[in-house]
Amino acid sequence: MNKRILLAAAAALALPLPALAQTAPLDPAALRDAALRDDIAWDITEGLTTEVGQRLAATEAEARAREWGARKLKALGFQNVRIETFKMPLWVRGEEKAEVLGASAQKLTITALGNSGTTGPKGVEGEIVYFPTIADLQMAPAGSLKGKIAFVSHSMTATQDGSQYGAFGAARRSGPSTAAAKGAVAILIRSIGTDYHRNPHTGVTNWPKDVKPIAAAALAVPDSEQLERLLKRGPVRMKLLITPEFKGEAESGNVIGEVPGSDPDAGIVLVGGHLDSWDLGTGAIDDATGVAITTAAAKRIMDAGQPRRTIRVVWFGAEEVGGFGGEAYAKAHGGERHVFASESDFGADRIWKFTVNLPESAASLSDKLAVALGPLGISRGRDLAGGGTDVEPILRGKVATVALAQSGLRYFDYHHTPDDTLDKVDPVQLRQNVAAWTATLAIVANAAEEIGPVEKTGRE
Ligand code: ZN
Ligand code: ZN
């Protein structure tokens, strides 16, 4: 049909004009099926983890990763590629040794938690006080840990939705500050993980302003159970040498690239993952695959035709140590009209569920997503979608989102360990992720519907 006649017909019927007036056809089903043969995401994941390796926030390695990312985005044809830097405190790992003293003298495998304090070069010795759960530690009387080493365990198990990380992860996030406030000289926790390898899991811990950081480390799961068995036999004394350092302010940054849309008034669609990683492995599943999946999906849309909305891809810096990149992005760009934001930060195993948080005006997108994602084995969940650390500051402004939930069944076997390496990424499942993200972007970035603010913000 002739476009002029179509517009006249639309006007007569009072149909929304933009739907008919613009946008190249981006067929979600065809793009989805083509993406099942994607090699872009693997290329990014393989390149970043091989050529840069670990990318601890605010270090020289993370700076190299930003340069690598900007070069890659330009080579892929993204527009307005730039690095936006910001300052943040730098924390670096030192020595980390733990040994049981006395009749059962033996070494145990530990790693310092991010933001851990130091024992000093001579180390500390103390009696272990055992807490089966974080709740037991919280109930310990004030001052009862003076001169002692707290030890907190938990019973995290692998689940498809990874939901136990939230609850049991509290041992890592707040256990150290709780133990410090009660007088402990140091704290050990059972690794927040679900494997039985002798690999401790690091991860960030937080200190309120009025609590002086103490040495805080995670035991590998087998070593944690070893310590529990020793404690059943009688009191245990340990010596710890944990010497990380805070090095003052240093530079981190976000890497940004765009697929410009045809309608500048339709708002920005923001997607991405985080570029930094912990220093133990090469940050393959956390989160090279996240930047790779979202970038590959945006590139596939770019190659298929101009979308209505600008797709902005962000490789966020310094997520692991406190979400600095997401906050810096929101500070710099929060005033721009974002209509959608979503991130990939849960590895690259098969996506099994999607949830949405959409305004009434764009509610029909949920059905379109169900149609496009169903053939990939992805079903619609009922919860209100939230975002992860990086896009959460933007979502707070009542921005719409879709969450694509990956299987967490093996994620916490490798998360934050030396074993987070490329070989853990399954290329077939990685492609399924790219297919789901490509279909989602095809629908959201090109929707004729107005995507206004949502009523309330969901939680991740
Ligand atoms: Zn992550
Ligand atoms: Zn992480």
Q: What is the pLDDT of residues 363-394, one digit of tens each?
A: 999 999 999 999 999 999 999 999 999 999 99
Say if CB 136 and CB 174 are below 8 A apart. Answer: no
State how far the Cα of 356 lies from the Cα of 365, in Å rounded to an integer: 9
* Residues 379 and 303 occupy one common structural domain: yes
Q: Which of 215, 243, 271 is the last residue of a domain?
A: 243
pLDDT of residue 17: 44
CA of 98 to the centre of ligand 2 (A): 24
* Residues 36 and 139 occupy one common structural domain: no
* Residues 292 and 356 occupy one common structural domain: yes
* Residues 110 and 72 occupy one common structural domain: no
CB-count exposure of residue 234 (10 Å: 0-12, 13-18, 19+): exposed
Q: Is residue 11 part of a domain?
A: no
Q: Residue 460's pLDDT band (boundaries 50, 70, 90)? A: low
Judged against a pLDDT cut of 80, whether residue 6 lies above it is answered with no
Q: Is residue 19 part of a domain?
A: no
* Residues 290 and 439 occupy one common structural domain: yes
Q: Nearest ligand to the C-alpha of residue 420?
A: 2
Q: What is the mean pLDDT of residues 427-441?
A: 98
pLDDT of residue 459: 73
DSSP bridge pairs for 7: none
pLDDT of residue 109: 98
Q: Residue 94's pLDDT band (boundaries 50, 70, 90)? A: very high
Judged against a pLDDT cut of 50, whether residue 23 lies above it is answered with no
CA of 253 to the centre of ligand 1 (A): 16
CATH number, residue 405: 3.40.630.10
Q: Residue 398's pLDDT band (boundaries 50, 70, 90)? A: very high
Contacts 24+ apart (CB under 8 A), 75-80: 76/40, 76/257, 76/295, 76/299, 76/302, 77/299, 77/302, 78/257, 78/258, 78/259, 78/298, 78/299, 78/302, 78/313, 79/257, 79/258, 79/259, 79/260, 80/256, 80/257, 80/258, 80/260
* Residues 312 and 390 occupy one common structural domain: yes
Q: What is the mean pLDDT of residues 197-210?
A: 97
CA of 345 to the centre of ligand 1 (A): 5
Q: What is the mean pLDDT of residues 251-266?
A: 98
Looking at the structure of the chain, the number of domains it has is 2
Q: What is the pLDDT of residues 63-89, one digit of tens each?
A: 999 999 999 999 999 999 999 999 999
CA of 230 to the centre of ligand 2 (A): 31
CATH number, residue 111: 3.50.30.30
* Residues 404 and 288 occupy one common structural domain: yes
Judged against a pLDDT cut of 70, whether residue 7 lies above it is answered with no
Q: Residue 205's pLDDT band (boundaries 50, 70, 90)? A: very high
Give Rg (Cα) of the chain. Answer: 24
CB-count exposure of residue 197 (10 Å: 0-12, 13-18, 19+): middle
CA of 127 to the centre of ligand 2 (A): 31
Judged against a pLDDT cut of 60, whether residue 231 lies above it is answered with yes
**Which among 240, 246, 255 has a CA at the least distance from the CA of 83?**
255
CA of 415 to the centre of ligand 2 (A): 7
Q: Which of 210, 243, 276 is the last residue of a domain?
A: 243
Query: Which of these ranges, 25-29, 203-207, 236-240, 416-420, has the smallest mean pLDDT?
Result: 25-29
Q: Nearest ligand to the C-alpha of residue 114?
A: 2
Q: Which of 208, 243, 278 is the last residue of a domain?
A: 243
CA of 274 to the centre of ligand 2 (A): 9
Judged against a pLDDT cut of 90, whether residue 1 lies above it is answered with no
Q: Find the domain containing 112 and state its range.
A: 94-243
Report residues near ion ligand 2: CB below 5 Å: 286, 320
Average pLDDT, the chain: 95
* Residues 59 and 114 occupy one common structural domain: no
Q: Nearest ligand to the C-alpha of residue 389?
A: 1
* Residues 239 and 106 occupy one common structural domain: yes
Q: Is residue 47 part of a domain?
A: yes
Question: Can you read off the two tokens belonging to residue 390?
Answer: 């990086």
Q: What is the mean pLDDT of residues 92-102?
A: 98
* Residues 142 and 287 occupy one common structural domain: no
Q: Is residue 431 part of a domain?
A: yes
Judged against a pLDDT cut of 50, whether residue 21 lies above it is answered with no
pTM metric for this prediction: 0.94
Say if CB 106 and CB 100 are below 8 A apart. Answer: yes
- For the chain, percent of residues with pLDDT exceeding 90: 93
* Residues 419 and 306 occupy one common structural domain: yes
pLDDT of residue 174: 97
Q: Nearest ligand to the C-alpha of residue 202?
A: 2
Q: Is residue 14 part of a domain?
A: no
Q: What is the mean pLDDT of residues 421-429?
A: 98
Q: What is the pLDDT of residues 308-362, one digit of tens each?
A: 999 999 999 999 999 999 999 999 999 999 999 999 999 999 999 999 999 999 9
Q: What is the pLDDT of residues 149-200, one digit of tens each?
A: 999 999 999 999 999 999 999 999 999 999 999 999 999 999 999 999 999 9
CA of 452 to the centre of ligand 1 (A): 28
- For the chain, percent of residues with pLDDT exceeding 70: 95
CA of 399 to the centre of ligand 1 (A): 21
Q: Is residue 308 part of a domain?
A: yes
Q: Is residue 452 part of a domain?
A: no
Judged against a pLDDT cut of 80, whether residue 105 lies above it is answered with yes
Q: Is residue 458 part of a domain?
A: no
* Residues 271 and 365 occupy one common structural domain: yes
Judged against a pLDDT cut of 90, whether residue 432 lies above it is answered with yes
